[in-house]
Amino acid sequence: MGYPDCELSLLFTDDKGIAALNSRFLKREGPTNVLAFPMRDGDHPETPMLGDIAISLDAAKRDAKQVGEHLTRTIDRLSIHGLLHLLGYDHERSEEEASIMEEEAERLLTMME
C-alpha cells in the first residue's frame, strides 16, 4: 500500500469502551463498531505511526451475525475499514469517496483470503 516500515495500534474493546472513546474524541454518543485515529497530519507527515484503530468486539459479533459471516472475517473487515481511514479515505465526504473506499476495502479483504 506504499507504507513500508509503518505501524498502527489495534485496540479490541467492548461497547462501553468504544462508546467512551466515541464520546471523548468525536463528541458522539453511543457505541460504534470501529473508530480510527490517524497520527499523520500536516504537523507529522513523516511519523512511522499511522494511528490507532479501536474495534468493539460486541459490535463485531452483532455485525457478523447480521450479515452471516464468521467473526474473524468481520474483524478483518473492520480492521481494513479503520486502516483505510488512517490512510485518508473517508466514506462520509461523498458517495463517490464511499464507493472508492468500499472498492479498496473489498480488494484488501480479498487479499486476506
Ranges of residues in the chain whose predicted pLDDT is under 70: 42-45
pLDDT for residue 45: 64
Is residue 53 a contact partner of residue 35, using CB atoms and an 8 Å limit?
yes
pTM: 0.91
pLDDT for residue 48: 86
Distances (CA, A) of 43 to 38, 39, 40, 46, 88: 12, 9, 8, 9, 15
Alpha-carbon span 15 to 32, nearest angstrom: 7
Q: Report which of 28, 10, 15 is spatially closest to residue 59, judged by C-alpha positions.
A: 15
pLDDT for residue 2: 78
Domains observed in the chain: 7-111 (3.40.390.30)
pLDDT for residue 44: 61
